[in-house]
Amino acid sequence: MATTTWSDSFLSAGSHLFSTNLANKIAKYQDLADRICYDLGYPLINLEIHGQQLYTNIARSVEMFSKFAGYTEEFLVFDSDLYTLRKGISMESLLTNTPELTATYAYTIQTTQATTNSVATLTSVEFNANSDDTLITLFEFDVSDIVVDPSEYTFTVTLEDTNTQITKLLSVATSGVPTATVSETEFGTVFTTSTEIFELSTTITNNLINIGIVPKTDKAGSIVANRNATVINETTSTTLTSNSPLIGSFDELTKQYRKVVDVYSFDESSNTSVNNLFTIEQSLAQQTYFSYAMGNYGFDLISWYTVKQWMETREKMLATRRTFKFDDRTQHLVFYPEPKTGERFYGVVGAYVEKPIRDLIKEPWVFQYASALCKISIGRARSKFGGTQLFGGGTLDTSLLQEGLSEKKELEQMLMTGTPGFGDAAPPQFFVG
Residue type, position 232, single letter = I
| Strand ordering across the sheet containing 346-354 | 71-79, 346-354, 260-268
pLDDT at 217: 92
Residue 2 clears pLDDT 50, i.e. is over it: no
Helices (H), 268-335: 280-294, 301-317
CB of 121 closer than 8 Å to CB of 228: yes
pLDDT attached to residue 57: 95
pLDDT at 90 over 80: yes
- Residue 169's identity, in one-letter code, is L
Burial (0-12, 13-18, 19+ Cβ within 10 Å), 59: middle
Residue of higher predicted confidence among 430 and 395? 395
| Confidence (pLDDT) at 36 | 93
User: How does strand 104-118 pair with strand 230-245?
Assistant: antiparallel
Q: Does residue 299 have a pLDDT over 80?
A: no
- Residues of the chain with pLDDT > 90, as a percent, come to 38
Beta bridge partners of 303: none
Q: What is the pLDDT of residue 372?
A: 96
Which CA distances in Å does 245 have to 14, 188, 283, 348, 372? 29, 55, 44, 21, 35
* Residues 93, 385: Cα–Cα separation, whole Å: 54
Q: CA torsion 85→87→92→95, rounded to 10°?
A: 50
Q: Which of 84-88, 268-272, 304-308, 425-429 has the highest mean pLDDT?
A: 84-88
Task: Tell me the average pLDDT across 88-101.
Answer: 89
Q: Are 36 and 79 in contact (CB under 8 A)?
A: no
Q: What is the pLDDT of residue 399?
A: 84
pLDDT tens track for 386-405: 666 666 666 666 788 999 99
Among candidate residues 313, 297, 362, 265, the one with its CA nearest the CA of residue 58: 362
Separation of alpha carbons 226 and 94, rounded Å? 66
Neighbours of 262 (CB within 10 A): 15
Q: Identify the band that residue 117 occupies on the pLDDT scale cut at 50, 70 and 90.
A: low
Query: pLDDT tens for residues 11-39?
Result: 556 666 788 888 888 988 999 999 999 99
**Which sequence spans correspond to the domains of the chain?**
15-70, 71-102+248-354, 115-237
Q: Within 10 Å of residue 57's Cβ, how many Cβ atoms?
A: 22
Quickly name the fold that domain 115-237 has: Immunoglobulin-like (2.60.40)
Name the DSSP letter for residue 405: H
Whole-number pLDDT of residue 192: 93
Contact 354, 256 (CB under 8 A): no
> Is the Cα dihedral 98, 101, 102, 106 positive or negative?
positive
User: Please, which pLDDT band fits residue 231 given cuts at 50, 70 and 90?
Assistant: low
Query: Quick check: 286 pLDDT over 60?
Result: yes
The mean predicted confidence, pLDDT, of the chain is: 80
Residue 354 above 90 pLDDT? yes
CB 234 within 8 A of CB 117: no
R_g over Cα of the chain: 39
Residue 187 φ then ψ, to 5°: -155, 165
Whether residue 147 contacts residue 265, with contact meaning beta carbons closer than 8 Å, is answered with no
pTM confidence score = 0.57
In this predicted structure, the answer to whether residue 205 has a pLDDT above a threshold of 60 is: yes
| pLDDT bracket for residue 424 (50, 70, 90) | very low
Section 241-248 average pLDDT? 60
Whether pLDDT at 324 is above 80: yes
CA distance 156 to 366: 62
- N-to-C CA span, the chain: 52
Model pLDDT for residues 42-64, shown as the tens digit of each residue? 888 889 899 999 999 999 999 99
